[in-house]
Every structure is written in C-alpha cells, then in structure tokens.
Amino acid sequence: VQLQASGGGLVQAGDSLRLSCAASGLTFSRYAMGWFRQAPGKEREFVAGISWSTGDSYYGASVKGRFTISRDNAKNTVQLQMNSLKPEDTAVYYCAAGPYRIMVPLGVKGYDYWGQGTLVTVSS
C-alpha cells in the first residue's frame, strides 16, 4: 500500500493551497480517507476525513470553514483544499487510510496506512 501526498509549500497568511494524495495497492472503496497534521513538538492532529460510501466529511475545529476535503474514487485520490491559511496551520500534513466504508475515524489509531507527509509553511 502506498499513499503519496503532494502539494505542500511555502505560502503567506491568507493564501490558499491544495494538497493531494494518491492511493495505490488498496481497494479504495473499502477505506475512509483522512488528513492529519503535525507541528514541531506537538501531537499529530486530525484535520479532515471523508467516508467512501456516504461522502460525509468531518473537520477538526481549528480548520472547519476554511478547509474542504474531497475524494475522487475513480482516480483513487483525496484532496484537501486549504483556504485562508494561518501561520498556525504550519505543519507536516499526512494523508491516511482507515478500513471503514461508512464511518470516519477521528483519531490516529483508526488509520492503518499513512503517507510520507508534505510540509506546509504559512508565513505571517
């Protein structure tokens, strides 16, 4: 199984950025997909997750209303559109796959597979 995240970079506060994650080696329709982030010295934090079967999405409190998760089941990809970025959004962002067709885990332990991470830096 491989999850390849891309799209990170250096942006200014207020800018937008779109992350993408390509999944291979798994049956995409059997997995909920999520994005997490980890800033230096902090625990890995749930950012957003999406169900395969219902399309329902969930967001962490700090990003709700600014970030949007989506998935393309035909292409085995999941995206994270990040708008109105803030310096506190600076972190390494990870995509993850959890073995649930309906529910979306909100914690790290709910996910079996992880991508390598992509760095997002937001300057003030």
Residues 51-97: tens digit of each pLDDT: 988 889 999 999 999 999 999 988 999 999 999 999 999 999 999 99
Residues 22-32: tens digit of each pLDDT: 999 998 888 99
N-to-C CA span, the chain:
37
